[in-house]
Structure 1
Amino acid sequence: MDWTLRGGAPLGPGAPAGDLLHLTGGRIDARGAEGAQVFDASGLTVAPGLIDLHGDGFERNLSPRPGVLFDPEIALAETDRQLTANGITTAWLAVTISWEPGLRSLDTARRLVEAWTRLRGAFACDMRLQLRWEVYALDAVEQVEAWLALEPRPAIAFNDHFTGLFDPTTRMAKSLDKYAARSGLSVEAYREMIGRLAARRDEVAPAIARLAAAAARAGAPRLAHDEPDAATRRANRALGIDVSEFPLSREAAAAAAEAGEVVVLGAPNVVRGGSHIGALDAEPAAAEGLCTALASDYYYPAPLAAAARLLARGDMAPEAVWGLVSAGPARAMGLRDRGALAPGMRGDLVLIRRDGPRARVVAVFVGGAPAWCAEPWRIAGATVPA
């Protein structure tokens, strides 16, 4: 079915003049099709759908309590509903492949990937995979390399949450009890496990180089997680890892931005007024041009909430703000068919009601079709509530 959205205020690059936006054959159309269904968008902002390039909020649907795992098909179906209701039309699930047992183990990742493969055609959201590989997960290298052949092509993020465990001043070292509980181990057993892994540290650099090269051959987006400084950014750049995901310092973010690379920061950072771990503050970084994309990180409502906050502050142009949660992530992941309202673009839209620093999702279109609607009376011919 083709659609004409009438009466909305467009926001985003390529936005048409006037208050009509047409969806024909799943894409934005300049003229519209005869007999198209009308959606009353009056009083709403019509924007490109949100694109989330890193979110692990689905883990709470998979394991709502430490040591309790649910069927991944149930978890993914619920995640799809949450994503869509929050205006996210394209999302990468940050599936951690770690050296830990339990929630973030290779075995759990296999079950998730298998469930995603079975269910993918049933999702409303265009749900994709980010292989969030821990660089000390050395026994997972062959499997991760094989997953790089999946379609649509996964992204791969290179993470090191291991090295910090040996520095007593880091938040990671201070959280061993939490990590042990997540893994289903005692603290002592967890310490023994990381001691065994530390003995394999010489294998790490070759494993990183192998997977970076494999990802480049596959055409998979490559992200480096938690870069502390410019030297680390340069080292990752030399490996062809050209997206800086959650850089920990202004220095690291600036090194990426100055090279024209994508810098991803957390949308919760904006919403909360700063990083929960004391890292780079996303809001001023965005205003300075040191942030290309905002990701949900661990909280799916955050991208829309962050955009609403930035729009209300008025320090950035509205298109630039929305670019952080739509066009910027699309660019980072190599998607050229979404993130704008121009004719020919994929019909992924979110219709929101703005109220100062807050916004509420009223309707979502994915691939030119309605995927979620809080006010169905806006569809022509529907019954208007009394």
Structure 2
Amino acid sequence: MPAEIVLTNARLVTAERVIDGTLVIRDGLIAKVEEGRSQLPHAQDLDGDYLLPGLVELHTDNLEKHMSPRPGVDWPSASAVLTHDAQIVAAGITTVFDALSIGDIKPGGQRMQQLPVMLEAIARAAEAGETRAEHRLHLRCELCHPDVLSLFRDLVEHPLVQLVSVMDHSPGQRQFALEAKYREYYRGKYHLSEAEMDAFTIEQKLNSQKYSDRHRRAVVEECRVRGLAVASHDDATLAHAQESATYGMTIAEFPTTLEAARASHELGLKVLMGAPNIVRGGSHSGNIAAVELAAANVLDILSSDYYPASLLQAAVMLAGQDNDYDLPKAVATVSRLPAQAAGLHDRGEIRVGLRADLLQARIASEQPLVRQVWREGQRVF
């Protein structure tokens, strides 16, 4: 890597404003942020494009699609990780928390068999320096699964684990307050008959009553001892938000109502919503739309969830809507705020002294084009 990299004729999106100027990188860090064009012969002209902080993704299960590209197909894990990584970095994401689901609610589901394989493949590729984005792990704990606690304890000591979320996808509450939506979603996902769906619904309700509360307490306590960030999931009521705050959680993932999102925000949790919710114009589960939370000024973080390219697109769309989010504030939802919520204070913002995780994007419409990406000053796309 050159001793100094100079990027000029760029629109630098800082935390406060957009600057027409120049950014200098030294030793993988941002060394200077200046207005105006550089006249240095080695300066790289960015053609007036935007220069943004590299995106930080806290919750994506995108790797699963590459591990199982079709039903019954198990793709080689090393290839799956590198293909996933290429898609992540092409979307402008320089730090990604790969979400691994502990406790598949479908008995015999592939997620349980894939879990150790996925973890090992991510760790091996990262250790070998084969990934272009920085990969960390997000353990998603399905609390109503009987074995979730033992599975969690087997994995939580892994050095890449830095974020844990607790969730309960049983019918009649949280994400699936409308049981009809639950039946529609899981019948389609698992191809169940009406009778199979009836039995599945009863089983999940009973498991939730038996395990959910005590597993939540145990997982959160284990995270507190280890200093891991914890996220709630699908909070729907004031009581849910208060419980999450009492547990010391720092992120409220996908709250399903304005009441829960507003309470979470006021209690100090960073409210995370899906970028696809912004791009598509609403929730696929019939819950609160992210644009409504933005209008109420309680939307803090966006996550691509299942579609990596949605992250930057959603931030650009958010900045163009009728709300208080200008471009710097919208970009913060996909960079500075997720980084801070996960305890990563060395990145996520264009500021002197921080990591030179950056992306160049041409934004001519609501569909931005990622042109270059740097991680710690090294070009990776």
Deviates more, 1:360-369 or 1:157-166: 157-166
For residue 14 of structure 1, report the CA deviation from its aligned partner.
Answer: 7.0
Say whether residues 1:28 and 2:30 are aligned partners.
Answer: yes
Question: Unmatched 5+ residue regions in structure 1?
Answer: 373-386
Tell me, in whole angstroms, the C-alpha distance in 1 between the residues paired with 2:98 and 2:13.
Answer: 26
Tell me, in whole angstroms, the C-alpha distance in 1 between the residues paired with 2:105 and 2:140.
Answer: 12
- CA distance 1:359–1:143, change in 2 (3 Å): same
Tell me, in whole angstroms, the C-alpha distance in 1 between the residues paired with 2:371 and 2:288.
Answer: 32
Deviates more, 1:309-318 or 1:245-254: 309-318
Equivalent runs, 1:1-386 vs 2, <5 Å = 1=1, 2-13=4-15, 19-30=21-32, 38-97=43-102, 98-101=104-107, 105-120=111-126, 121-164=129-172, 169-181=179-191, 199-200=206-207, 201-313=209-321, 315=323, 316-372=325-381
Tell me, in whole angstroms, the C-alpha distance in 2 between the residues paired with 1:31 and 1:239.
Answer: 40
Tell me, in whole angstroms, the C-alpha distance in 1 between the residues paired with 2:12 and 2:373.
Answer: 14
Q: Deviations over 1:212-263 (max 9, x none)?
A: 1001111111111111111111122222233110000000000111112200
Name the count of aligned residue pairs. 367
Deviates more, 1:122-131 or 1:312-321: 312-321
SS at 1:170 equivalent: helix
Partner of residue 379, structure 1: none
Tell me, in whole angstroms, the C-alpha distance in 2 between the residues paired with 1:239 and 1:191.
Answer: 34
Tell me, in whole angstroms, the C-alpha distance in 2 between the residues paired with 1:156 and 1:211.
Answer: 9
8 Å contact kept, 2:142–2:148 = no
8 Å contact kept, 1:347–1:365 = yes
8 Å contact kept, 1:99–1:106 = no
- CA distance 1:31–1:312, change in 2 (3 Å): closer
Tell me, in whole angstroms, the C-alpha distance in 2 between the residues paired with 1:193 and 1:169.
Answer: 12
For residue 284 of structure 1, report the CA deviation from its aligned partner.
Answer: 3.2
Letter in 2 for 1:135: L
Deviates more, 1:226-235 or 1:362-371: 226-235
For residue 81 of structure 1, report the CA deviation from its aligned partner.
Answer: 0.3
SS at 1:275 equivalent: coil
TM-score normalized by structure 2? Answer: 0.88
SS at 2:288 equivalent: coil
Partner of residue 375, structure 1: none
TM-score normalized by structure 1? Answer: 0.87
Letter in 1 for 2:253: E
Letter in 2 for 1:370: R
